[in-house]
Each structure stands twice: as C-alpha cells, then as structure tokens.
Structure 1
Amino acid sequence: MAKEYKAKIFKSGNSLALRLPKALGLQEGVEMVVREEHSKFVFEPADKPKRRIDVSKFWGKAPDLEPLTNDDRGFDPSPRPWDDPDWKGWGNKAG
C-alpha cells in the first residue's frame, strides 16, 4: 500500500497553495504540472528543457591526442556517376 500524507491548503496572495510534506522528496523551486483526472488531482515534475552538453571540461582527457592540421582535414573524393565519361548521361544537357 502506498504511503499516505496529509497536506494543507492555505491562501498565498490571491491564490491557493498546497503545502506538501518534505517526506515526498520534492525540492524547492522544481516546476510541477498539475492536472485533474477523474475528479482527482495529479501532479508531476514538468519536463525540463534539454540541456546542452558542456564540452569545455573534456580538454586534456586524451593527452596523446593531437589537434588536426589543415592537411589532415582533407576528404577523399566522392565518386559521382556524372563525373565518369562512360556514364550514359555524361555530356547530355537537359532541356
């Protein structure tokens, strides 16, 4: 059986607030979504936006890794059929 807690509703400004027990393990400032389902209230943490990965601390993790030079950055040529003179469409102009 699930644990049961009592919570108290109180006035906060022009709104009502629900004081939740610390035993639930919620942290202050966490945004929650509240919805009504079948005459009951359900609350859950709001989806957090995707965090960007901070790669600034990765530098130095591979000390034997050397930066690429401009000569190392070359790509192998990618063969394309229209570059082949034996291709049946070579030299034909559309139109």
Structure 2
Amino acid sequence: MAKTTRTFKSGNSVAVRLPKALGIEAGTEMRVREEQGKYVLEPVEKPDRIDLTGIYGSCPWLKPLTPEERIMEPRELDWEGKLLKRD
C-alpha cells in the first residue's frame, strides 16, 4: 500500500496523518526513528501485565487492607542520615 500524505503544523511540531486503511487507532503510542535517511514509525509495545488469577486462593491468609489500614501515621524523614548507625 503506497500512499502519499503531507506534513502539517500541529502546535510547535510537524505532524503527518496516517491513512485509516492502516488500521491504527487514534491515541496509539508510536516510536519514530531514522534509519538510513528514512523515518520509520512503529507502535510501542505495551509491557505484559502480571496475571495473578492463577494464585487466587492459594494464600488464604492474605486479606485486602481496609481503608483504615491504608492510612500511614506521619513521621519525620531522616534526610541527613542522623538515624543511621555509624562506627
């Protein structure tokens, strides 16, 4: 499929429209690279998600935290390292 298109100004960038026939959905994150004087566009691969459905129930002692258990008590941060043990 060889089609031509023109670049256009979009804000402070130069943009290009891709034909609908390519099947690329709006909002798809794309990587642009230059290869031997040509520009190559390729979709960015999404990282694989961890599927935990197979271990559900194998750790019955684990319970979700209640909203009250999620609240942490405020504490002073030791930015200078005063609480570190020094020899």
Shorter-chain TM-score bucket reads 0.5 to 0.7
TM-score by length of 2: 0.56
CA RMSD of aligned residues (A): 2.6
Secondary structure, aligned partner of 1:36: strand
Match of residue 32, structure 1, among 23, 30, 33: 30
Distance 2:52 2:5 in 1: 40
Unmatched segments (≥5 aa) in structure 2: 59-87
Matched, 1:14 2:36: no
Measured at CA, do residues 21 and 54 of structure 1 come closer, stay the same or move farther in structure 2, by a change above 3 Å?
A: farther
Measured at CA, do residues 39 and 53 of structure 1 come closer, stay the same or move farther in structure 2, by a change above 3 Å?
A: same
User: 1:9-88, aligned counterparts within 5 Å?
Assistant: 9-53=7-51, 55=53
Greater gyration radius:
1
Equivalent residue number for residue 75 of structure 1: none
Distance 1:19 1:8 in 2: 8
Secondary structure, aligned partner of 1:6: coil
Unmatched segments (≥5 aa) in structure 1: 60-66, 69-95
Distance 1:39 1:18 in 2: 17
Letter in 1 for 2:8: F
Matched length: 58
Equivalent residue number for residue 77 of structure 2: none
Letter in 1 for 2:30: M
